[in-house]
């Protein structure tokens, strides 16, 4: 509809006795703002015991319009201190791995299964994961990535609901919430077992091929 047609239509409404019309301009959803608001809303969460050791709630970081989302396990000591995902030693390795396939942290979004640090970096307990997963679900719904990379067995078992070894997980891709999903090693496992890096590299190359084809 052009401006003249709109003007004519408004004239017509006026002549028909209609004095007021209510316009509800569709507000463009800004995903980044929405994520920021939600982070603020949840950052004092006390839904599980992990809040007792929390210094900072680690919601997630990166590009709200990302086409690729990476999901890890839970914050470590450095993440708890700074309130940002993957900023410790394993985060530095993750950044290097991404850079090796020409991806930057700014381009993607990274989050975790749980948003508060499990004490001593133990695996999150079922009730902790259950309490926290709605936050991740919501992040996925907002970001709507086209690819997901789950790093580590905890993220894979939790989201794909299959109990198998990481080696078995890596053998195929999955459809999680309609999104093509990869599983690879957690960077902290690669720090402990550097000889697995060659396998992680194979996973990354497959991921890069799909990412470039998006
Ligand atoms: N390990 C994770 O799984 N997530 C982080 O944010 C840091 C370390």
Task: Encode pLDDT of 79-127 as tens digits.
Answer: 999 999 999 999 999 999 999 999 999 999 999 999 999 999 999 999 9
What is the pTM assigned to this prediction? 0.88
Condensed to tens digits (0 to 9), the pLDDT of residues 26-35 reads: 566 799 999 9
Condensed to tens digits (0 to 9), the pLDDT of residues 152-179 reads: 999 999 999 999 999 999 999 999 999 9
pLDDT for residue 26: 59
Radius of gyration (C-alpha) of the chain in whole angstroms: 22
Any atom of ligand 1 within 6 Å of the Cβ of 124: no
Tokens 């309130």 label which residue?
83
Task: Kindly list the strands in the beta sheet with 174-176, ordered across the sheet, starting from the edge strand earlier in the chain.
Answer: 61-62, 109-112, 68-72, 147-151, 179-184, 174-176
Question: Which atom of ligand 1 lies nearest, measured to the CA of 112?
Answer: 4
pLDDT for residue 10: 84
CATH of domain 3-212: 3.40.470.10
Mean pLDDT along residues 120-144: 98
pLDDT for residue 24: 64
CA 104 – ligand 1 centroid, Å: 17
Mean pLDDT along residues 197-213: 98
Any atom of ligand 1 within 6 Å of the Cβ of 39: no
């Amino acid at each position: 509809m052009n401006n003249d047609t709109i003007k004519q239509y408004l004239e017509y409404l006026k002549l028909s006795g209609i004095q007021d019309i209510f316009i509800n301009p569709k507000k463009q959803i800004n995903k980044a703002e929405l994520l920021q608001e939600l982070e603020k809303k949840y950052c004092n969460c006390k839904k599980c015991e992990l809040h007792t050791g929390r210094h900072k709630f680690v919601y997630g970081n990166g590009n709200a319009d990302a086409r690729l989302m990476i999901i890890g396990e839970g914050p470590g000591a450095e993440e708890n201190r700074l309130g940002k995902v993957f900023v410790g030693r394993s985060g530095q390795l993750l950044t290097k791995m991404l850079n090796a396939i020409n991806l930057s942290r700014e381009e993607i979004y990274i989050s975790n299964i749980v948003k508060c640090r499990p004490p001593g970096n133990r695996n999150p307990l079922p009730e902790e994961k259950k309490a926290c997963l709605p936050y991740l679900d919501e992040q996925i719904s907002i970001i709507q990535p086209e690819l997901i990379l789950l790093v580590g067995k905890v993220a894979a078992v939790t989201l794909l609901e299959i109990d198998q070894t990481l080696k078995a997980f890596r053998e195929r891709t999955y459809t999680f919430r309609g999104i093509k999903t990869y599983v690879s090693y957690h960077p902290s496992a690669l720090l402990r077992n550097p000889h697995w890096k060659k396998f992680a590299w194979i996973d990354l190359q497959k991921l890069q091929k799909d990412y470039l084809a998006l």
